[in-house]
Chains A and B, each alone.
Chain A
């Protein structure tokens, strides 16, 4: 069917569908934000002392996973998955902490820039391997997660190192108003500076295109291999940012990867990014990370065993996915 021969009302219907899908995409993030507000309010109700200090702490504690979720979101939108994010975070974090040891504040800037470059390179290597070997993403990045974690241990066998003071200041405390955590502003700024221009550019469109249907993208002239490579490189860059935020919030580098890889996958899925690729954005996953953290906080306030919070996370993950696929199933049936 070509647009020229299609009747006007069919075009109208298509426009409605496009608009509808855009609204639906946003509704997911809006619903998550509403849930977040409910969780924040209930935290205040349960624990009246819950105030701006806790909000600032919340900002600091979600920063690494939030950035990791953005990293994962980019590659998942492109139809891949990166299981080496946690290891890349560990590696970039120890490199940063080690390089900054005993250095002055100005050197810290150079180190940060170098580490960001390192992240691009690590992600680029992942991407190049995925593209050239044509081994499934999951296997390549799984294998590379060993490699990067191994390098992290080679750089530093035990947790340690230092972070520049200005870097530490970036992750902690308020900005202007005491209710505005600086970490949240930093995260939004990073995403605004790095991701939004990319998403608006040809590259962003290409990433969505190869994730949605790589064959169709190829036939419409999208350089699939190059786009996939760049998507992985961007993921590496955000993993490096997440690693730097780990160094910033702890003041040291830890060579053992945290639970960030799998949690970032969970956050991405909860944030409305389809694992099949091509759908979703990076803000949904960020909100999902905050929501998951708040669920934990609320459960702590209710004196519920914190282990049940992990259970809740799993149940929410499964439940959301089950209902989502049920809806999808019904829609395709109709």
Chain B
């Protein structure tokens, strides 16, 4: 494409471009609203407070996992170990149901294991400079394998998702408000405020935007990265607990299918995988869009196959749109 064509397009669509670049939440929310409108047209009467509650409930674990991706993508990384850690957390907790310590002990063990995994990932990425993609991929193998070993050890005790987690993950207050918001709202506020207002949040952006400049201005990247991957692993574990409660299953492969959608939600939300650009608000809307889209395709009676094709196409289109509006300014 020649520069002249590009210039013309820039002028004619400058307003849209600026809107998209500076306030990505507006077009994203509009897209979400359009999807909801389409679903209402396709199946009149389906959109109700109860339906919104169900959608919210399904979005919460995905939104938390996408939070892990958002944070690590801001530094130019990615966290592929969230699926394994989430499954591990849900599964380990379930194996402790009949033990003397009960569910609290199980949750404690699961969170501790997640922190250890995150610490090792952080050391690998921060200190040893291993590529985050590979480091988290290797860590997901390790966590998955160890969880499988644990499964064989604990197979006698019998595993079931604790009732408390089931309520927290899938319960709806007055059939509308999901209880999982009790977990999600604090997490969301912490990430949103942390990214905007705290020094640590700034450091994440700084390292992702320009690592050299960040280092020269005194940022200790390795400390930031270790803290980042510990936080990410903790969030993944929390999401895993909610996910096991939501689906009422505790298996070592529970979170596997959520890894790629979590990256997708962050990408749709406007976080750049190259680092330094994005935020959590967009990611939340991205997770909602993906959930509503899934619901829409179900309503339309389209098979899983079509859903995947549409998912993939949307990610490419949205990511291309972002690249277009942000790269030539």
Is residue A143 within 8 Å, beta carbon to beta carbon, of the partner chain?
Answer: yes
Q: Are B134 and A269 in contact (CB under 8 A)?
A: yes
Task: Give the contact stretch, choosing among B58-66, B277-285, B307-315.
Answer: B307-315
Is residue B274 within 8 Å, beta carbon to beta carbon, of the partner chain?
Answer: yes
- What DSSP secondary structure best describes chain A's contact surface? helix
**Which residues between 302 and 334 of chain A lie within 8 Å of chain B, taking CB atoms?**
305, 307-315, 317-318, 321-322, 325-326, 328-329
Q: Please give the distance in Å from A73's CB to the nearest CB on chain B.
A: 14
Q: Are B323 and A138 in contact (CB under 8 A)?
A: no
Q: Are B134 and A317 in contact (CB under 8 A)?
A: yes
In chain B, what residue has the closest Cβ to A313?
Answer: B141
- What DSSP secondary structure best describes chain B's contact surface? helix
Complex Cα spacing A329 to B129, Å: 9
Q: Are A151 and B305 in contact (CB under 8 A)?
A: yes
Is residue B133 within 8 Å, beta carbon to beta carbon, of the partner chain?
Answer: yes
Q: Are B303 and A317 in contact (CB under 8 A)?
A: no
Q: Are A275 and B131 in contact (CB under 8 A)?
A: yes
What's the count of A-B pairs with C-beta under 8 Å? 154
Complex Cα spacing A328 to B131, Å: 13
Is residue B192 within 8 Å, beta carbon to beta carbon, of the partner chain?
Answer: no
Q: Are A314 and B139 in contact (CB under 8 A)?
A: yes
**Which residues between 228 and 268 of chain B lie within 8 Å of chain A, taking CB atoms?**
260, 263-264, 267
In chain B, what residue has the closest Cβ to A266?
Answer: B137
Complex Cα spacing A280 to B65, Å: 34
Interface residues on A, range: 35 or more
Set of chain A residues within 8 Å of B263, measured between Cβ atoms: 139, 142
Complex Cα spacing A69 to B269, Å: 32
Set of chain A residues within 8 Å of B313, measured between Cβ atoms: 143, 147
**Which residues between 119 and 152 of chain B lie within 8 Å of chain A, taking CB atoms?**
120, 124, 128-131, 133-135, 137-142, 144-146, 148-149, 152
Q: Are A315 and B315 in contact (CB under 8 A)?
A: no
Task: Give the contact stretch, choosing among A128-136, A187-195, A198-206.
Answer: A128-136
Further 14 A-B residue pairs, CB within 8 A, beyond A135-B323, A147-B313, A153-B303: A81-B133, A129-B320, A135-B316, A146-B264, A150-B311, A269-B134, A305-B149, A307-B148, A310-B148, A312-B145, A314-B138, A314-B139, A322-B130, A328-B129
